[in-house]
């Protein structure tokens, strides 16, 4: 690629486009994880668009998100090049917009084939900056939506330097002349709607002449017709988890802020409180239908304490299982999304004619830090799930796979499990006696009362062991109450 091509316009369509999943510290912190090494996905060359063009948001979708990025154009083939020599293989730097359709992301998360491979989903340009004229550590990327600045960061904010992407990729494949590397996006990416205009610019403000790519402008248009046929593949689906991912935060997505995790102090109290005692205190407060009936622990010795993440199955119907049961379905998405300290609570309608989870999903929940799993259905791979060690409560064991009786339908919604209504962020506590659901707003009050009653019952048990009759002692009359208060220094 000669100098003129590198600096005054974009060459022919690239042979391949390789994009980095997560590279800026600002974006990584927004997502709550910092990768140890870069990871990548491929975009088709047919997704390339030019400045001044349009991108269509397909009919039936809502979560088209922009990602302003620095694009590297390879100038000479690179295979097993060193970090020191990698930049010599970059001809040009320019702006790119790595558009993604989050309605399709869950179905092929990671590969991004459908969510980021659409026609026009990778506009690049308008001008190229000669890589020889800039320091790769001092580039800047900015994005505007309808004239308002949405993203701004520099390559100083990268987790990995730009030359590392070239050197790393060259270990695995040959980077050919004209190939493009999209180097990731900083925080600030969000959703755009038909009529919005997105502009991306890459420049080197401290380099001589402050070279720039110019503004890469793309206008969002609306698809006029339904874009996808359920007979051919999975359909778009937008849930709150994808909305948060697309917008960057619950607040930006217009969703209520997620409830905080259990405090260390409250968790410690709940660890000490028996389910029977908690149930009694809830009953005193008028809550009688808070027990998940019929479930038994695989490991009776393990106490279960956490906040609910909910998953719902509906009865199997063959056409619905075809559209919702395969691929990256709601069950897999829920197990991938469960967070540390959460309990995955599954509505299976009490149906035990098929497993609702097995060893692989139990292992995934454990590695995610989940506190446990509760299902009013069955478990398959019972012995393997038991060995994994995560607390699991289920109604039965059954060897059949999910599709025999269930369609995984949705998660993070109000469900019914074992006769109890469970909402996301409810507090779940389980022991040998069973599992109880506690509304978060009264959890502190309920557990304090439970522990106080436990102390009282322990004192009563001591009196019974010493030979005192039950009458008047359990429950305590006023005379025994005074003795209790005196003995335990509660006056």
Task: Name the binding residues for Mg(2+).
Answer: 381
SS3 content of the chain, % helix, strand, coil (to 5): 30, 30, 40
Measure the CA–CA gap between 164 and 174, rounded to whole angstroms.
Answer: 15
List residues forming the annotated binding site.
358-361, 380-381
Question: What's the CA gap between 204 and 257, in Å, rounded?
Answer: 38
Binding site for substrate: which residues? 358-361, 380
Query: Are 35 and 28 in contact, with CB atoms under 8 Å apart?
Result: yes
CA neighbours within 13 Å on the CB side: how many for 313?
Answer: 32
Place of tokens 């006769």: 419
Q: Are 391 and 363 in contact (CB under 8 A)?
A: no
Instruction: Return the exposure string of 187-225: e unless at least 16 CB atoms fall within 10 Å of the residue's CB, then b.
Output: bbbbbbeeebebbbbbbbeeeeeebbbbbbbbebeeeee
Whole-angstrom distance, CA of residue 77 vs CA of residue 337: 40
- The number of residues in the chain equals 491
CB of 420 within 8 A of CB of 291?
yes
Report the distance separating Cα 339 and Cα 360, nearest Å: 17
């Amino acid at each position: 690629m000669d100098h003129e091509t590198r600096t005054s316009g974009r060459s022919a369509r690239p042979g391949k486009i390789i994009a980095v999943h997560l590279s800026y510290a600002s974006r990584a912190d927004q997502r709550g994880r910092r990768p140890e090494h870069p990871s990548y996905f491929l975009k088709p060359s047919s997704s390339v668009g030019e400045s001044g063009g349009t991108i269509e948001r397909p009919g039936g979708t809502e979560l088209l998100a922009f990602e302003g990025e620095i694009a590297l154009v390879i100038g000479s083939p690179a295979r097993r090049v060193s970090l020191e020599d990698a930049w010599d293989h970059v001809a040009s730097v320019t702006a790119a917009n790595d558009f993604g359709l989050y309605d399709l992301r869950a179905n092929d998360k990671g590969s991004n084939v459908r969510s980021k491979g659409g026609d026009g989903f990778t506009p690049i340009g308008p001008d190229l900056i000669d890589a020889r004229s800039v320091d790769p550590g001092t580039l800047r990327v900015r994005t505007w939506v309808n004239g308002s600045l949405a993203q701004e960061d520099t390559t100083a904010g990268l987790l990995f330097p730009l030359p590392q992407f070239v050197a790393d990729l060259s270990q695995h494949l040959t980077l050919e002349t004209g190939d493009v590397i999209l180097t990731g996006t900083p925080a600030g990416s969000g959703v755009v709607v038909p009529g919005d205009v997105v502009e991306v610019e890459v420049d080197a403000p401290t380099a001589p002449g402050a070279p720039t790519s110019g503004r890469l402008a793309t206008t969002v248009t609306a698809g006029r017709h339904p874009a996808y046929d359920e007979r051919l593949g999975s359909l778009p689906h937008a849930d709150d988890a994808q909305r948060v991912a697309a917008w960057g935060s619950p607040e930006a997505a217009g969703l209520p802020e997620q409830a905080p995790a259990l405090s260390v102090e409250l968790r410690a109290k709940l660890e000490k409180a028996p389910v029977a005692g908690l149930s009694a205190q809830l009953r005193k407060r008028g809550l009688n239908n808070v027990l998940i009936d019929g479930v038994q622990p695989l490991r009776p010795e393990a106490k279960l304490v956490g906040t609910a993440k909910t998953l719902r199955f509906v009865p199997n119907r063959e056409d619905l299982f075809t559209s919702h049961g395969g691929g990256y379905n709601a069950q897999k998405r829920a197990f991938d999304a469960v967070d540390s300290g959460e309990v995955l609570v599954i509505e299976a309608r009490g149906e035990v004619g098929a497993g609702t989870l097995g060893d692989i999903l139990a292992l995934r929940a454990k590695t995610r830090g989940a506190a446990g799993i509760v299902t009013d259905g069955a478990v398959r791979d019972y012995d393997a799930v038991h060995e994994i060690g995560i607390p699991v409560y289920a109604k039965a064991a059954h060897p059949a796979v999910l599709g025999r009786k269930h369609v995984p339908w949705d998660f993070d919604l109000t469900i019914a499990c074992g006769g109890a209504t469970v909402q996301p962020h409810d507090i779940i506590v389980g022991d040998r006696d069973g599992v109880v659901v506690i509304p978060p707003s009264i959890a502190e009050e309920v557990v304090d009362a439970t522990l106080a009653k436990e102390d009282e019952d322990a004192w009563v048990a001591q009196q019974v062991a010493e030979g005192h009759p039950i009458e008047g002692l359990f429950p305590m009359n006023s005379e025994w109450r005074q003795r209790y208060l005196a003995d335990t220094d509660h006056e």
